[in-house]
Amino acid sequence: MTISPNIAVQFKNVTKAFGEKRVLNDVSLHLEQGQVLCLLGRSGTGKSVTLKIIMALMRPDSGEVWVDHENLAGLSERGLSAVRKKLGYLFQDAALFDSLTLYENLALPLKRLTNKSKEEIDDKIHHVLLAVGLGSDSAKYPSALSGGMRKRAGLARALVLDPKILLADEPSSGLDRITASEIDELLLRCKEQHGTALIVVTHDVHGTRRIADRVAVLDRGDLVAFGSVEEVAQSENDVARRLIAE
Amino acid sequence: MSWSGRVFESVGKVGAFSARVLMDAFRPPFEIAQLSRQLAEVGNKSIALIVVSGFALGAVMTLHTRNTLVTFGAAAMIPAVQAVSFFVEIGPLVAGLLLAGRVGSGIGAVLANMRASEQIDAIESLSIDSFKFLVVPRVLACVIALPLLTLFMDFAGLLGGFLSEALASRISPELYLNRAFENLQWSNFIAPTLKTAVFGFIIGSVSSYFGFTTNKGAKGVGEAATNSVVIASLLIIVADVLLIKCIFFLFPDTAI
């Protein structure tokens, strides 16, 4: 089976359960390259699990997951590793490595996964940190960064390998409106400047309305709405309408 | 599942985890930078604890044994008793237990915290094998560091014993050392010191297992630290019995 050339991520009838609890129930959705998909839903409805399945950190119980034209189910660990190199992941709490400075956090993937020289790595890190507004903080440890700075640092690490697809797990949670808006700006810039496909798990309706090309609403494991912001706002599903309206 | 069933399941899981450590330790890429970092963490930061404990233990042991040996007219044996007991058993065992407390709890807590804060997922998302990157260097650091720390413990114990004895009998350092090593053979010293590499493997793999495999969030951090210390300490004592039997079998001269 093949996938349309412009599709970055596609879920086909994906199901995932933890014990008795089914967190994804026959979910099918897709995202085109250069688009932003916002995943909305109440807490515990499988949004973060969706991201982890795309990143191959978890395997679905059934169904197919295609990432950049590769069916994850058919890939060896080496193949999965190759797919992961095309992805960037901004974790909910940034998940920066505590024992490493900001510079070292960003240098780690560059040293491990590329053949760049020390000068090229320094240059890349400098540019990425400047882009997220942390140009003068490279020597700081994560414990010395504020919540907003940690999110920016996590975003910088996710972007340092120039991913084709960026996954962001609640990038604006715990941030004030202004900082959240700045993070949204950075995400939009990724899409506009590099054509990156973004999947953003969020509870921020304002941000969703601002950045989303597509919106998917999950409720108790079911995909209850999928479409543009306007389409979801007019959805027949009450949960979807309320989530996008709040 | 019954209690005994859960115990056997846990033993199997820890065994499989340890076997994976052994296999991955010989499979490239080798995480030399991480190993150096962990050696500093496990070794350098434990030296003060080991030396002070060894010194105090050596002094206390001499205080306890002196009266008895003097009563039997065997005061000249005090240095030899001190040396044999430290090099053969007290040094390796106490160093192992101290390291299980300091390093075991640290490894368990750090890895559990990394799991809870998604740092391990972050490593995987960067296409880095988190097991080889986090677990193998920690276990190897324990295996390498513990025999070296045991030497510090042995000699600190001897120094503590000497100072305690010198205050009581004004024995010279030369005479003390001469009597201490008079009856000690290399086999009395090498095999018990090397057995601590096994203790190090137990500490590293057990504590890494509890930290790396937890899925209980912040609550799991405390549990991992506690379980690491308790189980590693228990296994060290049990392994000590088995290793002593092995050493006696392989080096019959060491059976004093």
Taking only the tens of pLDDT, chain B with its 256 residues reads: 777 888 888 889 999 999 999 999 998 888 899 999 999 999 999 999 999 999 999 999 999 898 888 888 888 889 999 999 999 899 999 999 999 999 999 999 999 999 999 999 999 998 889 999 999 999 999 999 999 999 999 999 999 999 999 999 989 999 999 998 888 888 788 888 999 999 999 999 999 999 999 988 888 899 999 999 999 999 999 999 999 888 888 877 766 5
Question: CA–CA separation, B146 vs A57, rounded Å?
Answer: 35
Share of chain A above pLDDT 70, in %: 98
Average pLDDT score over residue span A117-141: 93
| Burial status of residue B4 (CB atoms within 10 A of its CB: 0-12, 13-18, 19 or more) | exposed
Minimal-distance CA residue of chain B relative to A154: B122
Instruction: Answer whether B36 touches A (CB < 8 Å).
Output: no
Q: Angle A132-A134-A140 (CA atoms, 0-180°, nearest 5)?
A: 140
Architecture of domain A7-245: 3-Layer(aba) Sandwich (3.40)
The answer to the question of residue B27 being in a domain is no
Give the span between the Cα atoms of B21 and B136, in whole angstroms. 6
- Give chain B's domain count: 1
pLDDT in tens, B125-176: 988 899 999 999 999 999 999 999 999 999 999 999 999 999 999 899 999 9
**Residue B10 domain-assigned (yes or no):** no
Q: What is the pLDDT of residue B254?
A: 65
Which are the contacts of B56, defined by CB distance < 8 A and separation ≥ 6?
B160
Residue the block writes with tokens 């295609």: A66
Query: CB B126 to CB A57 under 8 A?
Result: no
Question: Nearest 5°: CA angle at A24, between A22 and A27?
Answer: 145
pLDDT average, residue stretch A7-14: 94
Domain annotation covers residue B76: yes
DSSP class of residue B29 equals S
Residue A113 has a pLDDT of 87
Q: Report which of A155, A191, A193 is spatially closest to residue A175, judged by C-alpha positions.
A: A155
pLDDT at residue A1 greater than cutoff 80: no
DSSP letter at B181 equals H
Q: What is the pLDDT of residue B228?
A: 94
CA quadruple A132, A134, A136, A137: dihedral, nearest 10 = -150
Query: Hey, is the C-beta of A78 within 8 angstroms of any chain B C-beta?
Result: no
| Nearest of A93, A92, A96 to residue A202 by alpha carbon | A92
Instruction: Report the alpha-carbon distance of residue B18 to residue B131 in Å, rounded.
Output: 11
Helix, strand, or coil (residue A12)? strand
> What pLDDT digit, counting tens, does each position of A115-127 carry?
999 999 999 999 9
CA–CA dist B185, B251 (Å, integer) = 11
CA atoms of B187 and B184, how far apart (whole Å): 8
Neighbours of B35 (CB within 10 A): 17
Residue B15 falls inside a structural domain: no
C-beta separation of B22 from B83 below 8 A: no
8 Å CB contact of A112 and B126:
yes
Sequence-distant (6+) residues with CB within 8 A of B145 are B39, B42, B43, B46, B99, B200
Q: Name the residue type at position B60.
A: V
- Output the DSSP codes for A119-174: HHHHHHHHHHHHHTT-TT-TT--GGGS-HHHHHHHHHHHHHTT--SEEEEESTTTT
* ipTM value for the complex: 0.85
What single-letter DSSP state applies at residue B30? P
The pLDDT assigned to B251 comes to 77
pLDDT of residue B256: 57
Q: CA-CA distance, A67 to A94, in Å (whole number)?
A: 23
Distance of CA B131 to the CA centre of its chain: 22
Q: Give Cβ neighbours of residue B70 (< 8 Å, ≥ 6 apart).
A: none
Tokens of B10: 């846990």
DSSP alpha helix (H) spans, chain A: 47-54, 77-84, 102-113, 118-131, 147-159, 177-194, 205-211, 229-233, 238-245
User: pLDDT at position A164, please?
Assistant: 94
Residues in A closer than 8 angstroms to B114, CB to CB, are 98
Helices B91-99, B186-212: inter-axial angle, 10-degree rounding: 10
At residue A141, does pLDDT exceed 90? yes
Domain around B139: 32-254
CB B171 within 8 A of CB B158: no
Whether B13 is in a domain gets the answer no
Q: B125–A98: do the CB atoms touch at under 8 Å?
A: no
Query: Radius of gyration of chain A from Cα atoms?
Result: 18
CB pairs under 8 A between A and B: 50
- State both tokens at B115: 């799991």
Q: Chain A within 8 Å of B124 (Cβ-Cβ)? A: yes
Residues of chain B contacting A81 with CB distance shorter than 8 Å = 127
Task: Verify whether the Cβ–Cβ distance B126 to A84 is below 8 Å.
Answer: yes
Mean pLDDT of A44-67: 92
* Best mutation target, B24, B127, B128, B138, to test chain A (most A CBs within 10 A): B127
Task: State which H helix or E strand residue B92 sits in.
Answer: helix B91-99
* Closest chain A residue to the Cα of B37, Cα to Cα: A99
Which chain A residue shows the shortest CA-CA distance from B117?
A95
Write out pLDDT tens, residues A18-37: 988 889 999 999 999 999 99
Widest CA span in chain B: 70
% of chain B with per-residue pLDDT over 90: 71
Calpha distance B217→B208 (Å, rounded): 16
B29 cis-preceded (ω within 30 degrees of 0) = yes
